Amino acid sequence: MKLAQIRQKLSSVRRSAWKPIVQEGDGDLTASKFAGKPWLSANETWPTCPNCQKPMQLFLQLNLDKLPESLNGKFGSGLLQFFYCTSYDEPLCEVDCEAWEPFAKTKLARIIQPNTTPSEMDIPEIEDLFAAKLITGWEQRDEYPDRQEIELDNNTLDNKAFDIVYKRPRREDKLAGWPSWVQDPEYPNCPTCNHEMNQFIFQIDSGDDTINIPYNWGDMGAAYLLQCPEHKEQVALVWQCH
């Protein structure tokens, strides 16, 4: 098949993904960022792990009202925040509470509306606190799903030509697009409607100090923020490893 025919065949599953462009340091309270100081209401305390009672780290805050234009309203409005317990000592909350499960108690994924007085509290003392990185922009690209996520009739495609066109989802931090699953696709059911939470919002990769969050999900895995397309207030995070 010609490249144009292959592109047409794959067009129905093509999605745009955006790689975050970052700079060192924090931004204002409502900015999109990795780590740093989040927006919190004046009447709430810093989120803590109910297992060890230690403050959880902010991994990601996304201002949903300031995403790329084509995503306006897709994930709702307000601030998407993800906090996670990184306690390395006893108790080892990640293992004890099976934190890879979508609704484990050692993490907090939520969407809030920053329309009240913000808190003036400082970031609490957290062991191995991540350095803040401000998201200043987005680099767009097209990609297609992992082969195990969707049925594609590859038998009729010339393999060499197909590989030229087919852009697999990447293992890196990214907004939207397709998840790059480490294992099989894993979409939890929405607590409100019991349908699949198959709206993919963000992927956080594993790595070292050269990536945005220096944290390993198990054995060099990846984490996936997911949302119910009908009940946008329902967000969850699952992570997988090798």
Per-residue pLDDT tens over the stretch 107-152? 999 999 999 999 999 999 999 999 999 999 999 999 988 877 776 5
The SS3 assignment for 49 reads coil
pLDDT at position 70: 95
User: In this predicted model, what pLDDT tens digit does every residue of 183-210 receive, in sequence order?
Assistant: 999 999 999 999 999 999 999 999 766 6
User: Rounded CA gap, 191 and 121, in Å?
Assistant: 32
| Other CB atoms within 10 Å distance of the CB of residue 150 | 12
The fold of the 3-240 domain, in CATH, is Hypothetical protein YwqG fold (2.30.320)
Mean pLDDT to the nearest integer, 156-178 = 77
pLDDT band at 11 (very low <50, low <70, confident <90, very high): confident
CB 154 within 8 A of CB 188: no
Q: What is the pLDDT of residues 60-101, one digit of tens each?
A: 999 999 999 999 999 999 999 999 999 987 889 999 999 999
Q: Residue 110 pairs with which residues in a beta bridge?
A: 81
Average pLDDT across the chain, whole number: 91
pTM: 0.92
Amino acid 152: pLDDT = 53
Q: Are 23 and 136 in contact (CB under 8 A)?
A: yes
What is the domain partition of the chain in residue ranges?
A: 3-240
Given a cut of 70, whether residue 164 has pLDDT beyond it is no
118 φ, ψ (degrees, to nearest 5) = -80, 160
Burial of 224 (0-12, 13-18, 19+ CB in 10 A): buried
Average pLDDT over residues 227-231: 97
Burial of 228 (0-12, 13-18, 19+ CB in 10 A): buried
Token look-up 């998201």 returns 135
pLDDT exceeding 90 applies to what percent of the chain?
A: 76
Residue count of the chain, please give it. 242
Average pLDDT over residues 172-191: 96
Share of the chain above pLDDT 70, in %: 91
Q: Are 74 and 61 in contact (CB under 8 A)?
A: no
Res 10 pLDDT > 90: no
**Mean pLDDT, range 27-38, rounded to an integer:** 97
* pLDDT number for residue 147: 73
Q: Over 70: is that where the pLDDT of 236 sits?
A: yes
| Model pLDDT, residue 158 | 57
Checking if the pLDDT of 59 tops 70, the result is: yes
Residue 172 has pLDDT above 60, yes or no: yes
Residue located via tokens 């805050």: 61
Task: Tell me which residue of 78, 81, 49 sits closest to 66, measured CA to CA.
Answer: 78
Confidence of residue 6 (pLDDT cuts 50, 70, 90): confident
Contact 169, 146 (CB under 8 A): yes
Q: What is the mean pLDDT of residues 155-167?
A: 62
Using the predicted structure, report yes or no on whether residue 170 has a pLDDT greater than 90.
Answer: no
